[in-house]
A = this chain, B = another copy of it.
């Protein structure tokens, strides 16, 4: 007999992208920002360290919530700090939301392909997943918002990974209105996109939007994300979070990061320019690329297996993500690095026989 819940024993657990402990790799596999974060972050962390770490942090991260409301008030009508819940990375928020909403006998609905973690979180809760395939043009048909008495949560990564595609906010509102349950819009990559769904939160309490500081603010190492939702929703989710889920340094660093919108603007512009260069160059090499609204490009080559390319690149010191989802051809998800990193990748591709 095992001591563990049967669904824990049965599950494999989520495997994050490779983080090589040894060797010098160009890392284009986990969608990190290639640039260092705003200098204001380091200053804030230094100040918080100096102030002392012996006290518990503010359980509600109020400093951050006040600051982010200033930023969001032009998008979200009526927003105030009680519309925000902070998390130890947006993974923490995904965990909180699934724990609050789904359980055995209920369904969590998400898309294929998308973020594998949604399946893992459902497995931990002992609930089943309804997985809806994207259409070939990366749209979603009505099956994503079809009624189901046992459905408790739908999750839409928007922009999606690995495709980098985005569902238009007007369509997201239609989906949320039709759904019988909350719709979590995971906007981890939205700072790299042309639009976002923040404005919808005020229109429908079922719409929950999560944001991450990992990618656009170059703070994957700091672990900070936030949920935007109506206060009556935040109130329930707050019951599920660990009291002190965000540490004092993360709160200080994240607050400083969002205060430096000039840094975000510059970095975003650099990433988007390199994304375009990468896409153009890949297409000239014969790759089929999906137009991206994120900080990565999803591609495959008609003449060479994605798995072999991944392995060849790894041998040559470049890590990209090889991903294979049911009903979809395998492909490579290449994070947008610096221009120099992308040049190194393209040089390797040119050396391989791709044709």
Question: Which of B21, B33, B55, B253 has a CB less than 8 Å from the CB of A220?
Answer: B55
Any chain B CB within 8 A of the CB of A54? yes
A4, B100: Cβ atoms closer than 8 Å: yes
Any chain B CB within 8 A of the CB of A19? yes
> What 0/1 readout, one digit per residue, does chain A (29-52) give for beta carbons within 8 Å of chain B?
010111111000110011011101
B8, A100: Cβ atoms closer than 8 Å: yes
A103, B126: Cβ atoms closer than 8 Å: yes
Nearest-neighbour CB distance to chain B for A232, whole angstroms, equals: 10
Contact-residue bracket for chain A: 35 or more
B220, A53: Cβ atoms closer than 8 Å: yes
Any chain B CB within 8 A of the CB of A244? yes
B54, A218: Cβ atoms closer than 8 Å: yes
Within 8 A of B (CB), among A245-265: 245-250, 253
Contacts of A249 in B (CB 8 A): 45, 221-222, 247, 249-250
Question: Which of B58, B206, B221 has a CB less than 8 Å from the CB of A52?
Answer: B221
Contacts of A117 in B (CB 8 A): 243
Chain B's closest residue to A52 (CB) is B36
Most buried by B among A5, A12, A100: A5
Nearest-neighbour CB distance to chain B for A102, whole angstroms, equals: 8
Interface of A is mostly: loop
Contacts of A101 in B (CB 8 A): 3-5
Q: How many copies of the shown chain assemble into the complex? A: 2
Contacts of A182 in B (CB 8 A): 3
Q: Contacts A206-B3, A242-B91 known; A221 to B16 CB distance under 8 Å?
A: no
Within 8 A of B (CB), among A72-116: 88-89, 91-92, 95, 99-104
Any chain B CB within 8 A of the CB of A139? no
Any chain B CB within 8 A of the CB of A236? yes
Chain B's closest residue to A35 (CB) is B54
Nearest-neighbour CB distance to chain B for A16, whole angstroms, equals: 4
Contacts of A62 in B (CB 8 A): 21
A232 to B41, CA, bound (A): 40
Contacts of A59 in B (CB 8 A): 16, 19
A99 to B223, CA, bound (A): 21
Within 8 A of B (CB), among A210-248: 214, 218-223, 233, 236, 238-240, 242-248
Q: Which 5 A-B pairs have the closest CB atoms?
A: A221-B248, A13-B239, A53-B221, A54-B218, A223-B247
